[in-house]
Structure 1
Amino acid sequence: MLLRTSSLLCSSTSVTFTPIQLFNPNISPHFQTLELSRPLSALCRARCHFSFVGARGKSSFFIRATATQEVVETSSNSELDLVEVGFLSGVHGLQGEICIKPNTDFPDLRFSKPGRRWLKQQLMGQEKIEEVELVEGRPHPAQKSWILKFRGLDDVDQVRQLVGATLLAEEDDRPELDEGEFYSRDLIGMRVLLKETGQLVGTVDNVFDNGGNDLLHVLLDSSSMEVCNGNPKTNQLVWIPFVDAIVPDVDLERKEMYITPPKGLLEVNMRADDRSKKERRQLEWKERKKQQKRLLAAKKKLCELEQKHVFDGLRFGEKSQRNLLAENIVQVNSTLLQKALQSIENPSKKRWNVTEEINALRARVSECNLSIPRECLGLDASKEKMGDNFTFLQLGKSLFSEGKVSVCLVLSDHENEQSEGENGAVSYLLTLLDDEQRFPKEEERACVPLVVVSPEHAIEALQKLFQDNDHFGFDSEKIWFLKEETLPVVCSSPLEPKKHKILMKSPWEILKSPVGSGGVLSILASHGVTDSLSSLGIDYLQVHSIESKPQEDLQHYISPMLAGLVSAKEAEIGIQVAGDSEVKNLEMVFSVKFLKRLKGKIVFEAVMKMNSHVQKVEKEWIELVPSEPNSFEFRSDIYRVLSECSSSSAKICLMNITV
């Protein structure tokens, strides 16, 4: 009912009236037909004395609208068109003065200028209108109202009978608008079209003052607007900001306006489904209950690990802060944390070094070892240059084209949180994807599932990058954007050597650190990606790390040759390394069967680090800044799977890149 009333704000339907005797009825202050009397400039949206509907100024994208409403009131027997400008709210003083609550953009014009006015009241369900003469009026700032004096009404008893009546004025008695300006009610019913194509979007149903800017409520044309399932929708209303950048052209004579909406504007406030409000509320309630259960389960697991202090922030703070802490608690992988804590109590007796492991593989005499010149890493390398190794490249290309290989890109960009900047990993990834010498061609990517593992701060930039570039040829249904695996940082206290409490970045945020490349295996398993790849018929997962500032740029080749080598030798793992240097980049191929056998198992190493944090001391939160290592961060290297290969006799291929 309220929405229907609002939708009539700008009506200008004309009727006429015949003056009749004024009675003393029970009065209803509700308006039937409303008019926004705010003028609007299509060319200049500057704020002006009469409060425009829109002030589309060149200095600001948004508009400032402060106008109120006037009601169009007309009668059947006269040519006068009237507008409601306010209602009489109470008696003022003892001299027959009365207060009025304005409902107009022009209070000075309506209330201070003497002359004819009309009062509308109701008696026994019928409206009665009588002409009166306004003698004077003055503002009453404290009450946000005006004080009026009518001729012939000189005592309190007379004016008390008028309380609740509506004051009317002539509609034509209003300021003339400058060229390019018009009243908001003139916009109602206008056809809205796309400027670029001329396609009909809908018609303006209403205009609303949103405080910061005016909004057009547009009823979409059902024949031209369709939802995602292809079925036309009816009675769909969307909001369109009335600003020059979006509504550049308004044709008052043709009753048309042309819009240039940003991508997604028309879809963003459309209801995605036809479920009733009750059904949507039930779903929201179920989702809240599900989140509460997840939080309770996460709290129970942390209690078992003696980490109750993490919950202190749930007892105070803003709702958003408490929600942030609840989200942090749910995100803790308690199983991994428990395993990581064991690495403190039971550190590995044998020092592990990835370079030593790789050198041991280099030293072996095996058909699974392959040396390739760097110049042969390009996807267009010729058979003359590659010799017998050309068959591995051809086999790898065949596996990619048949949809048997998935690519996993691991972004590491912790030092530069502006990942989309010139030196960020996201920017470098864009360069890599556009280089068809180092990455499969765009037309060949549709059958290649893609997994992108990234720091949390880069996820949004990555998703936007792919959306803006049509997903670079990949199937959008076969792309996973995953946040890298992180674990809480725990304290190292000589006073309590066996108690390792989670450190807090703030009362509502857990201090976390990335696990490292080994976390890729865990994140793939926990999100069910490994199982999904298996169900898609994928045989191999090719994993590459993408650094924000690679020391050897040419190492970032997503070459099918490594997958071809692993397939040809029927191996479980393939590793690509550069010369005799230390292993710095992650270049590996896993068989999906081997990944499923691992089930996300990773080995942790606890590393002493200095970390500032907050701590609750006697009901007060204090910040602690250490001068020496005070905490453990947990690391895991993906190359530790080589130990699993040794115990399970899994076959490993090594592709050594030579200068």
Structure 2
Amino acid sequence: MRSFSILSSSNSLFCSGYYAAFLPPGLFPRKWINPAPKPSSSGRFPLISLQIHRFPCFAVRSTGTQEVLETDSSALGFVETGYISGVHGLQGEVRVKPSTDFPDLRFSKPGKRWLKQRNSGTETLQEIELIEGRGHGGQKWIVKFGNIDTVEQAQKLVGSTILVPDEDKPDLEEGEFYTRDLIGMTVVLKESGELVGTVDSVYKTGAHDLLHVRLNSLRNIPNRIGKMNISKDNLGPLVWVPFVEAIVPTVDLEKREMLITPPKGLLELNVRSDERSKKERRELEWKERKKFQRRVIAAKKKLYEMEQKHVFDGVGYGGRDKARLLANQIASVNSNLLQQALQNIETPLTRPNLLDVLSAVPGPHRLSISDEPYCKLQRKGHLLNSDGKIAVCVVLGNTADTENGSAANFDNSDVKSILDDHASFIQVEGRQSVPLILVCAAGSVSSLQELFWNDDFFGFDPEKVWFLEEEKLPVVSSSIEGHGKHKILMKSPWEFLQRSVGSGGLISLLSSQESLLDHLSETGIEYFEVGKINRNHEKSHALLGLLSSCSANVGINLFEGITVEEDFNIIFTMSFVRKLIKQLNKLHFRAILTRNSYVQKIEKEWVDVIPSEANSYEFRASIYGCLDATPINKVCVLDSNL
């Protein structure tokens, strides 16, 4: 099987990923954003920053940060290869951050280049001669341009984008394509020769690229409720087509045509189930943009009030895609939670030992697996589970990974083995009635969704499965900067340096998922279980039965090796979950002193700061903080140590 590869666009993307169910199992990796049939139930879609990868079989090298085709009229016919981030030395050299798959060719080979600069809102192109270049510190390059011999001259180039002519592109191997060559191609059904539409854009989702295909306006497509959609304007609907060889076996660059063999139902996906006009759709899109702009404005105002205006220093650098990235970062930061965490630096919390706290739980509210009522309460919990009274929230990986700052520390094979093990998880016959919420790092959402699609959701009802991103907060400086504030550290001029807030972040996460909680309550859910993937469903049944019998708010499973932060199996009543959300301002954080590299703008230059000792605070919160919100006689404990 030949290997296809694309140099394609890498953008942040909101995408509904129903298409992935149609990929042949075992052939190609596939990733998507939200495969659930009712994406609105999850409250929010995760925002994935797409990166470049290369895979065997049908490798897809994302091109979109890699040699971005500029659409601005001043730069037509050029491709972006890098961004000048700062000055190096005293001889007029500059530092460059590449955005190309061919940095050696673009920055070490002398010749003409063009610089795109923005001055007073106007973009200009300037021809310049590249004299020499060399790699420097990982992905960065040091470049020398002609007639740029002083620091002052070099500083005037900082913020510029380096371009090369569109025709000056390297020859690709067989089966490799540039995104710009695919866009606009005619898409045809291989078997019948029927015109499907044209390629509108190409996106990278992690494991392979997606073609966004604009369907032929005369093509009748049945929507999800069986009705036919016939476009009333010149533009048909957009659908996602996975760019894998099994579905796109032929790409003819000369004919500007690709042949596809889509599985049944693929082209019906993402087609609107209503008959809104083009005008109505545009009005909806305009409203969404305005809504996003209002979020950005409100977030900017809040960050200014917190004396964090340096996070906007990246505005005006790197072009429109970087500006959008920064806007997304600003809009997504939980400034209220950050402000709350910052206050805990000055007033650190001293929390008593968990076991000491739970030792005060009344005797009737304690149960050991060796106690006589255990089996009776286990049966009661099993009945509540079968009646669809409990939702299960599984937190994957290490929720307070200080190395990676995310919950990506889990392996899909481990997840699959546990889900397939009925002794460790809910039995298959009982899964249809149980809503399942999975929380993991943003970078793991796609692979997790892929795993569930491949295995028919492991017996769970797809309409009752939600995939949520973990809660994160920016990392801040440990030293107090100007205005007496701890400064948010930047990963790049357009990205905050962020880390997972740990298990307690689940409370904050649920506060942003009101529609999900409403849906659970409307469907009769009375209990909400939170735990790691390595749960034992029989013990969970016993804990549920105990919680119900005691009329408690919280049930905690104590097991061997339990720690306050990382190990937990807790059941809440839904009413208590609502109470926790309302008391989110009482969530306490620990400020952990760590060492983190970051970037900082000094005068007009972006500088990489690599500290030699701890220089920053990362914030952690524990799920066991819920005990502060309930009397101890409203807590019950299952002791699983015996």
Band the TM-score falls in, shorter-chain normalisation? 0.5 to 0.7
Instruction: Measure, in 2, the Cα distance between the counterparts of 1:488 and 1:447.
Output: 38
Measure the CA separation in 1 of the matches of 2:345 and 2:407: 37
Shift of the alpha carbon at 1:628?
1.4
Percent of pairs with identical residues: 43
What is residue 656 of structure 1 aligned with on the other side?
A: 639
Partner of 1:204: 194
Alpha-carbon offset, residue 520 of structure 1: 0.7
Q: 1:417 Cα shift?
A: 7.9
* Distance 1:462-1:293 versus aligned 2 partners, 3 A rule: same
Trace 1:124-135 onto structure 2 (pairs within 5 A): none
State the alpha-carbon separation in 2 of the partners of residues 480 and 215 from structure 1: 24
Change (3 A) 1:580 1:563: same
Which whole-Å CA distance do the structure 1 matches of 2:420 and 2:329 have between them? 36
Q: How many residues align?
A: 434
Deviation at residue 533 of structure 1 after TM alignment: 2.8
Shift of 1:192: 6.6
Q: Which residue of 2 aligns with 1:371?
A: 368
Residues in 2 aligned to 1:594 and 1:515: alpha-carbon distance in whole angstroms: 21
Matched residue, 1:563 = 544
Aligned to 2:525: 538
CA deviation map 1:19-60 (0-9, x unaligned) = xxxxxxxxxxxxxxxxxxxxxxxxxxxxxxxxxxxxxxxx99
From 478, 483, 492, the counterpart of 2:464: 478
Alignment of 1:57-68 (within 5 A): none
Q: Which runs of 5+ in 1 are unaligned?
A: 1-58, 63-187, 194-201, 250-257, 374-385, 547-552
| Displacement after TM superposition at 1:279 (Å) | 2.3
CA distance in 2, matches of 1:218, 1:570: 56
Q: Is the 8 A contact 1:370 1:654 kept in 2?
A: yes
1:372 to partner: Cα distance: 1.7
C-alpha root-mean-square deviation of aligned residues, in Å? 4.1
| SS state at 1:314 partner | coil
- The answer to whether the 8 Å contact 2:544/2:555 transfers is yes
Judged with a 3 Å threshold, the aligned counterparts in structure 2 of structure 1 residues 203 and 415 are, in CA distance, closer, same or farther, namely farther
Aligned to 1:352: 351
Mapped to 2, the partners of 1:538 and 1:403 lie a distance apart of 7
Letter of the structure 1 residue corresponding to residue 351 of structure 2: W
How far has the Cα of 1:449 moved from its partner? 1.5
Amino acid at match of 2:567: N
Work out whether residues 394 and 439 of structure 2, in 8 Å CA contact, stay in contact via their aligned partners in 1.
yes
Tell me how far 1:466 sits from its aligned partner. Answer: 2.1
Deviates more, 1:427-436 or 1:286-295: 427-436
Q: 1:409 touches 1:452 (CA, 8 Å); kept in 2? A: yes
Q: How far apart are residue 448 of structure 1 and its match?
A: 1.4
Higher normalized contact order (CA 8 Å, seq sep 6+, divided by chain length): 2
Separation of aligned partners in 2, 1:209 and 1:649: 61
Asked whether the equivalents of residues 393 and 439 of structure 2 are also in contact (C-alpha less than 8 Å), the reply is yes
SS of residue in 2 equivalent to 1:403: coil
- Secondary structure in 2 aligned to 1:446? helix
**Structure 2 partner of 1:633:** 618
Within the alignment, does 1:612 sit opposite 2:597 as a pair? yes
Q: Which residue of 1 aligns with 2:574?
A: 592
- Contact 1:207–1:215 under 8 Å retained in 2: no
The Cα shift of 1:503 comes to 0.7
Q: 1:408 to 1:561 in 2, by over 3 A?
A: same
Alignment partner, residue 452 of structure 1: 438
State the partner residue of 2:131.
none
2:555 corresponds, among 550, 569, 574, to 574
Distance in 2, matches of 1:408 and 1:226, equals 35
**SS of match in other structure, 2:425:** coil
TM-score by length of 1: 0.58
CA distance in 1, matches of 2:194, 2:598: 55
Contact 1:219–1:238 (CA under 8 A) maintained in structure 2: no
Tell me if the contact between 2:247 and 2:262 (Cα under 8 Å) persists in the aligned partners.
yes
Structure 1 counterpart of 2:543, which letter?
Answer: L
Distance 1:447 1:609, change over 3 A: same
The 5-angstrom pairing of residues 222-237 of structure 1 reads 226-234=222-230
Which whole-Å CA distance do the structure 2 matches of 1:294 and 1:486 have between them?
A: 18
**CA separation of 1:541 and 1:216: change in aligned 2, threshold 3 A:** closer
Instruction: Look up the match of 2:137.
Output: none
What CA distance in whole angstroms lies between the structure 2 residues aligned with 1:316 and 1:287? 26
Describe how 1:254-269 pairs up with structure 2 within 5 A: 260-262=261-263, 265-267=266-268
> C-alpha displacement at 1:476, in angstroms?
2.6
What is the aligned counterpart of 2:380 among 395, 403, 414? 395
Q: 1:613 Cα deviation (Å)?
A: 0.6
Shift, 1:535, TM fit: 3.0
Residue in structure 2 matched with residue 343 of structure 1 by the alignment = 344
Residue 164 of structure 2 corresponds to which residue in structure 1?
none
Within 2, Cα distance between the matches of 1:211 and 1:519?
36
Match of 2:314, SS?
helix
Asked whether the equivalents of residues 390 and 526 of structure 2 are also in contact (C-alpha less than 8 Å), the reply is yes
Q: Which residue is 1:151 aligned to? A: none
User: 2:553 touches 2:576 (CA, 8 Å); kept in 1?
Assistant: yes
Q: 1:4 corresponds to which residue?
A: none
Deviation at 1:641, TM superposition (A): 1.9
Q: Which residue of 1 aligns with 2:277?
A: 276
Kept in 1: contact 2:198–2:215 (CA 8 A): no
- Specify the code of the residue in structure 1 equivalent to 2:434: V
- The aligned runs of 1:282-301 (5 Å cut-off) are 282-301=283-302
Q: Which has the larger radius of gyration?
A: 1
Partner Cα separation in structure 2 for residue 602 and residue 290 of structure 1: 29
Residues in 1 aligned to 2:403 and 2:481: alpha-carbon distance in whole angstroms = 36
Is the 8 Å Cα contact of residues 405 and 498 (structure 2) preserved in structure 1? no
Structure 2 residue corresponding to 1:509, chosen from 481, 485, 495: 495
Partners of 1:527 and 1:246 lie apart in 2 by 36
- For the 8 Å contact 1:203–1:221, the answer to whether it is kept is no
Post-superposition offset of 1:458: 0.9
Instruction: Return the offset for 1:191.
Output: 8.9
SS of the residue 2:437 aligns to:
strand
Structure-2-length-normalised TM-score: 0.60
**Contact conserved, 1:484 with 1:519, CA < 8 A, in 2?**
yes
Is contact 1:416-1:424 (8 Å) kept?
no
Q: Which amino acid aligns with 1:641?
A: C
For the structure 1 residues 264 and 315, does the alpha-carbon distance in structure 2 shift closer, same or farther, using more than 3 Å as the test?
farther
